[in-house]
């Protein structure tokens, strides 16, 4: 475990960790405590089960069929409701995603039940509070949420970050583990802008989380492989990004 993950028992500790180091690794118990200030996870079983209904990502320039996903967008001010926006494509420039960037990528939307459910709302509210305190001048955010499942099979590793060590072209990123089944590796590494390693850790338990200041850090995740090739093997995460718009 990275030392940045130590002592982050509440939202203030998480925020201070990001401000100090550019990222924070937050263990599940600490993340649960932080989330509890902003709502409940009452629908967590249905929330986690929704990862069984993702579509294959057909935009993979490496030809892989190991990634499934859904996508949604929201708009958030400093206060008030976080409003879901009309469905739209996900777009990254080639500067930020040399493998799959430069085109509009249309993914199936996160379902209304999950997007409007307690767990998603609580996670988004927690992110807004954390990131708004880190960027007090910001009054409006563009928010994107991605459900990802990375599958691993015998002879085919799953790549959580096929573009390698990267930045996302946003301001802040949350990666929250939802489930991990029958896989090895999947180690997250965080690097400064000179590509020097700042820390590494593995998300192993549901709610284990990584939060990254995208302007200050690169991040990546090592490929995953099945422990037992005869059984399904996958890594489920929710990725939430916040980008300043005002």
pLDDT digits (tens, 9 = 90+) for 121-136: 999 999 999 999 999 9
Q: Which strands sit side by side in the sheet containing 197-202, from one edge to the other?
A: 197-202, 187-191, 218-221
**What does the pLDDT read at residue 60?**
76
Residue 162's pLDDT band (cuts 50, 70, 90): confident
CATH code of the domain containing 203? 2.60.120.620
Helical pair 11-21 and 28-36, crossing angle rounded to 10 deg: 120
Distance of alpha carbon 69 from alpha carbon 53, whole angstroms: 9
- Concatenating the DSSP letter of every residue in 163-226 gives T-SB--SSSEEEEEEEEEESEEE-EEEEE-TT--EEEEEE--STT-EEEEETTT-EEEE--EEE
**What does the pLDDT read at residue 100?**
65
CA geometry: angle 54, 179, 120, nearest 5 deg: 65
Given a cut of 50, whether residue 52 has pLDDT beyond it is yes
Q: Look up residue 155 and give its DSSP letter.
A: T
User: Span 35-63, mean pLDDT?
Assistant: 92
3-state secondary structure of 121: helix
Distance of alpha carbon 137 from alpha carbon 7, whole angstroms: 28
**What does the pLDDT read at residue 102?**
78
The contacts of residue 92 (CB under 8 Å, 6+ apart) are 100, 101, 102, 168, 169
The contacts of residue 24 (CB under 8 Å, 6+ apart) are 4, 5, 8, 14, 17, 18, 210, 211
Domain that residue 106 falls in: 3-244
How many domains does the structure of the chain reveal? 1
Token pair for 12: 């203030």
- Model pTM? 0.92
Q: Average pLDDT of the chain?
A: 91
pLDDT digits (tens, 9 = 90+) for 86-117: 998 877 666 655 666 577 778 899 999 999 99
User: Span 42-60, mean pLDDT?
Assistant: 94
| Residue carrying the six token digits 């563009």 | 142
């Amino acid at each position: 475990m990275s030392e940045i993950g130590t002592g982050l028992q509440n939202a203030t500790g998480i925020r201070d960790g990001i401000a100090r180091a550019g990222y924070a690794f937050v263990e599940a118990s600490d993340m649960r405590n932080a989330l509890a200030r902003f709502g409940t996870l009452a629908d967590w079983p249905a929330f986690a089960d929704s990862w069984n209904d993702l579509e294959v990502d057909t935009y993979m320039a490496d030809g892989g069929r190991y990634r499934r996903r859904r996508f949604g967008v929201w708009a958030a001010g400093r206060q008030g409701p976080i409003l879901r926006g009309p469905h739209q494509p996900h777009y990254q420039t080639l500067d930020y995603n040399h493998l799959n960037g430069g085109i509009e990528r249309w993914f199936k939307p996160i379902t209304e039940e999950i997007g409007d459910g307690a767990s998603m709302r609580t996670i988004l509210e927690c992110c807004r509070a954390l990131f708004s305190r880190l960027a007090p001048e910001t009054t409006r955010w563009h928010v994107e949420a991605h459900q990802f499942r990375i599958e691993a099979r015998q002879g085919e590793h799953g790549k959580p970050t096929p573009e390698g060590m990267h930045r996302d072209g946003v301001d802040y990123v949350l990666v929250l583990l939802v489930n991990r089944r029958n896989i090895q590796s999947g180690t997250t590494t965080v690097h400064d802008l000179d590509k020097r390693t700042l820390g590494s850790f593995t998300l192993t338990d549901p709610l284990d989380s990584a939060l990254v200041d995208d302007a200050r850090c690169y991040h990546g995740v090592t490929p995953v492989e099945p422990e037992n090739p005869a059984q399904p093997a996958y890594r489920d995460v929710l990725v939430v990004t916040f980008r300043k718009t005002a």
